[in-house]
Structure 1
Amino acid sequence: MTFDVDLFVIGGGSGGVRAARIAASEGGARVALAEEYRMGGTCVIRGCVPKKLMVYASAFPGQIADARAYGWDVSAGGFDWSRFRATLDQELVRLEGAYRSGLLNAGVTVHDSRAVVEDAHTVRLADGQRITAKHILIATGGRPFVPEIPGADLALTSNDMFLLDRLPSSVLIVGGGFIACEFACILNGLGVKVTLAYRGTHVLRGFDDEARTHVADAMKANGIEICCEADVTALDKAGEGIRATGTNGAGGVYDAVLYATGRKPNTQGLGLEHLGVGLGGNGEVLVDGYSQTSVPSIFAVGDVTDRIALTPVAIREGHAFADTVFKGTPRQADHDQVPSAVFTQPELGTVGLTEAEAAAQEPVEVYVATFRPMQTLFAGRQDRSLFKLIVSQATRKVLGCHIVAAGAGEMIQLAAIAVKMGATKEDFDRTVAVHPTIAEELVTMKTPARRVGNA
């Protein structure tokens, strides 16, 4: 059978774009890609990139206060959201253009359209055009989830936060994951009164208990009100604000309500179910190690598969798919020991096992250092950093590394190389410290704080 293209990619986010570009430029494939919104996907347009720029913006009040302590005659003045937003929009336009030109330069045909799967080898665009493909790649990412409660239409999601005409004066953030905590810190830093309501017992579920407690304590110390074991049952208009009916401190009237209660894979209406493509309970596309679905010609990468919802993971999955199918070098993306960072204030960087996970599988030693870092100590701030290593008693390998500090995201990237290589505690100990830095704690912790785990 003759096909119009060798590969049709649905979704112009990081995973889909990488797969399309590699398949076309290095694999010699005829490739088309459809994106219904803006090229770049969640990360570039409504996620990692604009969020990190907001993190930078929100940190300046503390930096300016520190500068005064260091002898500088400076003052913050007011924050101009409109000015920041205009510059942010310009940057996203630039990045979107870079993604698009990268595809076009690789020879990929781009369709600015919604696309659905009609059969195992046919994609239909919104205008009715049908394109046949030897292979179809689903890379449609995820979308924010808002539970069905009265007044749910009044809630903002993370998608909306970069499009606000003005900053709210007060906000209720519903959720306790990394998106909720990041936006709590961002908005707090920009001068918004922030209340965070989470129905669980502790924010940042899934991260190391000691590290997430450290982050939560810092958030509270910075003025964020955290209400755990709290939920919102309804929203309704209250004059110019929004009234939240809730439990355990979650009630009240706020200028805005942001829901950060998780994300769902973007598979609705794609036409996958009637083709027999396996979907999980959350709507995720089920794939094997090579990102292939139960229909041999259809593959999926990135957040739509709900494996590890991180941009660099999606990129690696897309690249591995292109290498396997179009370059004749079969390989699977590696999902083991993936580092990550939560851009709260202070940041949380992590790689490997939490203390609880490690202790459940074997006896471990736990090394912990908490201290006030020199930079903010001099300025009179009460900030505290945490460095934590979890070490196997049997093999001496470092099974987990967790950092809560300014710049933790940068530090964990480097520490992750050692952990991924299987470095032992003694390898860390043999490394000479760089002084004075906060990261030197990684190589100067000599005595375990405790020994835990099943013998």
Structure 2
Amino acid sequence: MASFDYDLFVIGAGSGGVRAARIAAGYGARVAIAEESRIGGTCVIRGCVPKKLMVYASRIAGDLNDAAGFGWAVGDRRFDWSAFQAAMQREVARLEGIYAGNLQRAGAEIIRDRAVVTGPNEVRLVAAERTITAGRILVATGNRPVLPDVPGMEHAVTSNDMFDLPALPEKAVVVGGGYIALEFASILNGLGVPTSVLYRGEQVLRGFDREVRDKLADALRTRGIDVRTGVQVAGIDKTAAGLAVRLADGAALDTDLVLAATGRRPNTTGLGLETAGVTLDESGAVIVNALSQTSVSSIYAVGDVTNHAQLTPVAIREGHAFADTVFGGKESFADLTAIPTAIFTTPEVGTIGLSEEAACAAHTAVDVYKAEFRPMRNILAGRDERSFMKVVVDAVTDRVLGVHIMGPEAGEMIQLVGIAVAMGATKGDFDRTMAVHPTAAEELVTLRTPSTRHR
């Protein structure tokens, strides 16, 4: 039997890699994990965690505006970007320490170096100039934002840069129409920055439920965001005053900041995977089977580097399933059929399962239940913004195929709804559930008559 330095060598200490390393070490495996940047990966360091803190900061201005409707007199409303940024980075550093501590307590060795795959059971540490062998290699290097091929796009920033801005811009332009673009547009808008969103498609949030897409775009416009669809960016010019974004129709927007949020690419460049025989797709993503195994039997991959679903919980579940299967002796899979997810715009969106359009394409009979209302808080606050809920049901089996929510706490609601949908809940199960009153979520269990019947 071959002798290796480690049973498992993990490349990338993000959410998926850290979970796999911890669980494998818990099973008694000799584990090392290499990270060339900071422990925690995109989510903890430059993604969902600091972004959610920015979301909270951006919503406080709205809370202060609403306070008067509830009898509160609020005085000074200045926002100190530097003070907030320092607090945000302290929290990121705290979480990074927790991630590292968890790895060490589990018995995994942390190696602060870039690792390159040089064979089916071999990696090279670049800075240390040392070769290490392992029975299994797990690639968990995530992905990175990419700039579109447009003249002058080098003047733009990516989502990675948004957490380290030296100051808030006077004006901002966001190029893109996905959830990252819309979340940062909402953040900037909430912090008082006039913001435009430029998207080449006919509506933002491609792939989501069409009605939710339309209603969110309208809500963002009502909140003051200049959402423009069907527009092409022709170039970005540096000017004496800042930047000028040129559009294909000849129009131009003057701005201080351009955020390009048009896509991400798997981090496989220079990892040596092709040389080792690992098959990649045309985007550079690692191709794996249901057990996260690549075309080389000893090399596995989890998370964004596989381009399955670019979500932190997916990477964590895949990493855990890999460790259970390979080192725990119990075959485990990450179920990606119904993934609850949230878009932390303001208003927020939570969704799971099939959109109305996808359900109609896959099923012969579909019933759609909808509710639209002003949340109780908005009434005294004097806001006209409305919440929207949709439950998509297979009319033949009564099974709930999808749930879509727009409004306050949509992300919290969809996590709990996700349990029911993953268990195969029917509309009858929803109907039998007692409502909690007064809440917005009670609408999900009090919908009785379909708004639309598709046959």
Q: Which range, TM-score by smaller chain?
A: over 0.9
Cα distance between partner residues in 2 of 1:96 and 1:249: 46
**Contact preservation (8 Å) 1:10, 1:16:** yes
**Given that residues 227 and 249 in structure 1 are in contact (C-alpha distance below 8 angstroms), is that contact kept between their aligned partners in structure 2?**
no
Paired residue type of 1:295: V
Aligned length: 452
1:284 is matched with: 285
Does structure 2 retain, via aligned residues, the 8 Å contact 1:64–1:75? no
Q: Which amino acid in 2 is paired with 1:37?
A: S
Find the counterpart in structure 1 of residue 175 from structure 2.
Answer: 174
Aligned partner of 1:56 in structure 2 is 56
* Percent of aligned pairs sharing the same letter: 57
Aligned residue identity for 1:66: D
Match of 2:378 in 1: 376
Kindly indicate whether the alpha-carbon contact (under 8 Å) linking 2:118 and 2:275 is maintained by their aligned counterparts in 1: no
Distance 2:88 2:320 in 1: 29
Post-superposition offset of 1:148: 2.1
CA drift of 1:248 comes to: 5.2
Hey, what does 2:427 align to over in structure 1? Answer: 425
Decide whether the 8 Å contact of 2:198 with 2:231 is kept in 1. Answer: yes
Q: Residues 61 and 77 of structure 2 are in contact (CA less than 8 Å); yes or no, is this contact kept in structure 1?
A: no
Letter of the 1:446 counterpart: R
Q: What residue is the counterpart of 2:453 in the other structure?
A: 451
Cα drift, residue 76 of structure 1 = 4.8
Q: Once the 2 structures are TM-superposed, how far is the Cα of residue 240 of structure 1 from its aligned partner? A: 3.8
For the Cα contact (< 8 Å) 1:233–1:245, is it kept in 2?
Answer: yes
After superposition, where does 1:267-282 map in structure 2 within 5 Å? 267-282=268-283
C-alpha RMSD over aligned residues? 1.1
Displacement, 1:250?
6.7
Per-residue deviation, 1:149: 2.0
* Structure 1 residues 343 and 337: CA distance shift in structure 2, 3 A: same
Write the deviation string for residues 365-385 of structure 1: whole angstroms up to 9, x where unpaired.
011111111101111111100
Q: Are the counterparts in 2 of residues 17 and 99 from structure 1 also a CA contact under 8 Å?
A: yes
Map residues 14-413 of structure 1 onto 2, 5 A cutoff. 14-25=15-26, 27-127=27-127, 128-247=129-248, 251-362=252-363, 363-413=365-415
CA apart distance, 1:68? 1.2
One-letter identity of the residue aligned with 2:125: L
Equivalence for 1:437: 439
SS at structure 1 position matched to 2:217: helix
Structure 2 counterpart SS, 1:28: coil
How big is each residue's C-alpha offset from its partner over 1:272-324, in whole Å with a ceiling of 9 and x where there is no partner?
Answer: 11222111111100000000000001000000000011111100100010011
Q: Please tell me the residue identity of whatever aligns with 1:116.
A: V
Judged with a 3 Å threshold, the aligned counterparts in structure 2 of structure 1 residues 59 and 38 are, in CA distance, closer, same or farther, namely: same
Q: Which amino acid aligns with 1:51?
A: K
Aligned counterparts of 1:233 and 1:72: Cα–Cα separation in 2: 48
Distance in 1, matches of 2:130 and 2:250, equals: 53
Q: 1:199 touches 1:231 (CA, 8 Å); kept in 2?
A: yes
Q: Is the 8 A contact 1:377 1:383 kept in 2?
A: no
Q: Distance in 1 between matches of 2:179 and 2:94?
A: 27
Residues 209 and 356 in structure 2, CA contact (< 8 A), matched pair in contact too: yes
In the alignment, is the contact (CA less than 8 A) between 1:229 and 1:248 conserved in 2?
Answer: no
Unpaired runs of at least 5, structure 1:
none
4+ long deviations beyond 4 Å: none
Q: CA deviation at 1:126?
A: 1.6
Q: What TM-score do you get using the length of structure 1 for normalisation?
A: 0.98
The 1-side partners of 2:290 and 2:113 are apart by 29
Deviations 1:4-33 (A, max 9, x none): 1111100010000000011112x1011111
Rounded to whole Å, the distance in 1 between the matches of 2:217 and 2:161 is 25
Instruction: Name the CA distance, whole Å, in 1 between partners of 2:425 and 2:236.
Output: 51
Q: Structure 2: 5+ residue runs without aligned partners?
A: none
Cα offset, 1:431, TM superposition: 1.4
Distance in 2 (alpha carbons) for counterparts of 1:282 and 1:81: 37
Residue 182 of structure 1 aligns to a residue in which SS? helix
TM-score by length of 2: 0.98
